[in-house]
Amino acid sequence: MNQIEQMRKEGLELEIAGKIGKALELYHKCLELAPDRTDIHLSVGRLYYLLGDTKQSIEQYEAVVARQPHDVVVLYHLGIAYFRATRFGKAIEVFKRIVNMEHDILMAHYWLGLSYYHIGQLHNSIEALKTLHEVGNGATLGYYYLAIVYKAAGMYTEAVEHLEKILTEDPKLVSVQYHLGLAYMGKKDIVKALGSFKTVLELDNEHQGAREMVKRLVGDQDMLYSFGIELEPGEGAEDPDAITANYYIGKAYSAFSEIDEAFKYFKKQILKK
C-alpha cells in the first residue's frame, strides 16, 4: 500500500472514530501529495458539511467540477451541497446539467424537483417529479413528493390520488396519512380529512399536527362554515343552533379520548356541503 492509500485508510478510521477534524487534516495532507484525487476531494467536502462549513464544502466540490465538468458523481455532490446551503438556484443549474447528461439518474430529478419547490416554481417542480416517477417506473419517492407539490399548488385531487396510491401498499405511513388529510381538507371533504387524521392518531397518538387538525375540524365553527357544513335546527342537539352541541365539540376539546365518539357523530350528522 502506497503512502496516499495508507493515509486515506487512516483518515477513514479517524472518521469512524468520530475524529472529523483529525481526518480532515490527514485528507488535506493527501491532497498536497495528490491534488487530483477526486475521491479525497469528495471526502473533504463531505466532512466540511458535517462540521457545518457549507462554504468550504462547496468550494471543494467546485474545484473538482472545474477540472472534471462532465463527472456526474461530482456534479451530484455539488448540487446536494448547494441545496443544503439553500442556494436553490445554483442547485437547479447543477441538477439540470446532470439530467441533460444522463437522464436516468433518478435522484437528480428528485433534487431538481425539490429545488424548484423551494423557490416557488411549482409547475417546474411537478414536471421534474413526474419525470422521476416515469424514469423510475413508478418510484414511490416520486409519488410522495409529487403529491406534496400538488397539494402546495392547490391541485388537491391529484395529491389525493398519489397519496392514496402509496397507502394501498402501506397504510401505516404516518406522514402520508397526514398529508392525505390536508389534501382532503383542500378538497373540502371534511369526513375523509377527519378520517385520515384519526388514522394518524391511531398510529402515533403524539402527532401534534393531526391533533391540531382534529381540534380545528370538529371544534371550530368558522372552519365548519367555511367548508359549507351546516346543521338543521333540532337535529338531536340541546341547543338547536349550536354546532358545538350537535358535534360533541366540547368532548373533543376537553379530552381526546372522546375523538372516536365525536368523529362518529360528526360523520353521521353532516347534512350538506
Of 196, 171, 199, 172, which Cα lies nearest the Cα of 184? Answer: 196
Average pLDDT over residues 55-67: 90
178: pLDDT strictly greater than 60: yes
Calculate the dihedral angle through the C-alpha atoms of 114, 119, 121, 122, rounding to the nearest 10 degrees: 50
Average pLDDT over residues 46-53: 86
Domains of the chain: 1-78 (1.25.40.10), 86-153 (1.25.40.10)
Give pLDDT, residue 226. 52
List the beta strands (DSSP E) in 123-272: none
Contact (Cβ atoms closer than 8 angstroms) between residue 98 and residue 108 = yes
Cell output for 194: 377527519
What is the DSSP-derived secondary structure letter of residue 242?
A: -
Dist. CA 8–CA 43, nearest whole Å: 10
What are the CA-CA distances from residue 233 to residues 190, 225, 243, 263 (Å)? 21, 15, 10, 20
Give pLDDT, residue 222. 56
Confidence of residue 137 (pLDDT cuts 50, 70, 90): low
Dist. CA 123–CA 113, nearest whole Å: 9
Confidence of residue 234 (pLDDT cuts 50, 70, 90): very low
Give pLDDT, residue 46. 86
Dist. CA 152–CA 92, nearest whole Å: 19
Cell 437528480 locates to 108
Dist. CA 253–CA 243, nearest whole Å: 13
Residue 52 corresponds to which amino acid?
G
Contact (Cβ atoms closer than 8 angstroms) between residue 170 and residue 199 = no
Q: What is the phi/psi pair of residue 125, to 5°? A: -60, -45
Q: Tens digits of per-residue pLDDT, 65-117?
A: 988 899 998 899 899 999 999 999 999 999 999 999 999 888 899 999 999 99
Helix (H, G, I), strand (E, B) or coil at 1: coil
Calculate the dihedral angle through the C-alpha atoms of 19, 20, 22, 23, rounding to the nearest 10 degrees: 110
Of 263, 185, 257, 256, which Cα lies nearest the Cα of 218? Answer: 263
Average pLDDT over residues 55-65: 90
Confidence of residue 175 (pLDDT cuts 50, 70, 90): very high
Q: What angle do CA 160, 150, 106 make, to 5 degrees?
A: 105
Contact (Cβ atoms closer than 8 angstroms) between residue 263 and residue 194 = yes
Confidence of residue 154 (pLDDT cuts 50, 70, 90): very high
